[in-house]
Chain A
């Protein structure tokens, strides 16, 4: 274990409350549940924490078909069946057909690991309940081999959710909860600085202005988020667009350059164009 506290990294900006959340989860060994708008760096957090603590990272991506026990282990009955028909020798030991899941791998590691359970809300509604004991006591039983696996070092469990399903109370009670808020202007500035240190001041200022104005446009289906801003800046840099061309003075009179990186939905683009159109008409009359 190299570090015991998390203070952010060179490539990831953390706010004070998020820092507190990670450190509290580390100290007390509780799972940390992270929610927030898409694109605010929820998944990234686990990677950065792992990097900062020099701990191995295990990522378990959840899909709608994922079952809780898949994170612990799987018994590969089909291969065993096939082997038995072929008369293989290894068929006699059931342990040969137990596949370790991410949780097991994290428990087994020699040092404290970081385990990311990504997008837990994608799974079945009962899914979190099936993991209660495992996350609480950090141990589980393998019935096939009558083995008990307990964590050597309690891993730091980071769970992300996009709020598609409500999580059960019993599960929530065992977690710490943090909602990553959409960054304000200053935080956004430092995030961009971290990613594009050489960015011209005027371009950044103009771009941020367009970006935050765009988020204020009422009725957008998908508001642009941090990751979209970063993509957009990358494009702007690649095209070498001058700051004046962004039309930051009044973003409603012009569709921002390369808006495809910011608006991901054709209805939003239409809405935006309509707003511009109405605005122009009003100015003329």
Chain B
């Protein structure tokens, strides 16, 4: 029973194992759930899913798999009351978006088009495809990033009873690829911790005390050890200005999280690509430049290196001397990056650009090659992969 469902879950990337499948059968055997499909949904989710990040995937597979059994889905797209559309859209749109809508010919026209399109779609997807275009470039749909887009959620529908819990997809935001928040970043960075005992001995070392006391013929001999501290050392290089302006917020978050997390954190800024000078204060970037050579000499090789940048620029800025947009550089950026990588064995590049774009931009491909493939997207999953890379022991 449910083997097909189980395999589908696995294919969709929900990590399920045989233990869980057996537990589900055990639970059904013990009549934990009643006979309604909702009960079964709750029960199977409880047992099969172990992380809220996978709830959304589970919901989708569940909807797909048990579609026939549920029926009722046709009711989902009867008619959509206009005032609901308007309300829903207004709730989701910011002022800026609304202005953009004005530029498209105004609210009413957009609504009219949307309604028309919904009607068309209703006919075409009678079988129960519930989303008005997922992804894609249409301004209407569920996952589009089109600024002119309108998201149609179902939770406000007046057919509320007909909407199944799993169709609401309330956990969409918890999926892996969510934007980073400071706290999330901190959690990811925390994995880079390496504890070491350094400094003044302040903690009682019980084991050693007992051992020494025994050796001391039973007379108390107290032993102390230093407290554990996070001893990992990080050099952070941040790209600022130009194309990075789109990503300012996420970089700020990463930066503030890193500052809170690492005691030994040194950070430097660069523009577009690494050259002979970096700086620590953006307001005085021209007067107070630090030669990159000095950074290389100053920080020992056990520092871990993290670059943050979109690596989106003209290829000349990487490969040719004098290619920098800001100044005349004697040596090409690639040389400087290579020098860095030669000293610091453990290094990664975090790129806030969407991963799908990487192959299409020549400069990203070049940077990635220089980094030996160690480029990671700046999502939670990417950051985790990057940290894992930093922790690896390299030959």
Contacts and interface: CB of A to CB of B under 8 A. Distances in A.
Interface of A: 16-17, 20-21, 23-24, 27-28, 30, 33, 35, 77-78, 81, 84-85, 163-165, 169, 172-179, 181, 216, 218, 221, 282
Interface in B234-291: none
Given A85-B218, A178-B46, A169 B15 contact: yes
B187 A173 contact: no
A171 B165 CA distance: 28
Contacts of B17: 173
A30 B23 contact: yes
A132 to B, nearest CB: 13
B27 interface: yes
Nearest to A278: B95
A21 B210 contact: no
Contact of B206 (A24, A77, A169): A77
Contact of B46 (A77, A172, A176, A216): A176
A10 B292 CA distance: 66
B33 A20 contact: yes
Interface string B217-228: 011100000000
A21 B46 contact: yes
A165 B187 contact: yes
Given A81-B220, A85-B218, A24 B43 contact: yes
Contacts, number: 74
A88 B79 CA distance: 85
A84 B218 contact: yes
B295 interface: no
Given A35-B52, A81-B210, A17 B30 contact: no
Contact of A24 (B47, B51, B91): B47
13 contacts: A16-B39, A23-B32, A24-B33, A24-B43, A27-B32, A28-B23, A28-B26, A28-B30, A77-B206, A77-B210, A84-B218, A164-B187, A216-B91
- Most A Cβ at <10 Å: residue of B43, B55, B174: B43
A17 B42 contact: yes
Nearest to A176: B46
B51 A172 contact: yes
Interface in B66-96: 91, 94-95
Given A28-B30, A169-B50, 19 more contacts: A17-B42, A20-B46, A21-B42, A21-B46, A23-B32, A24-B46, A28-B27, A35-B52, A77-B206, A84-B218, A85-B218, A163-B187, A164-B190, A165-B187, A172-B51, A176-B47, A177-B51, A181-B170, A221-B182
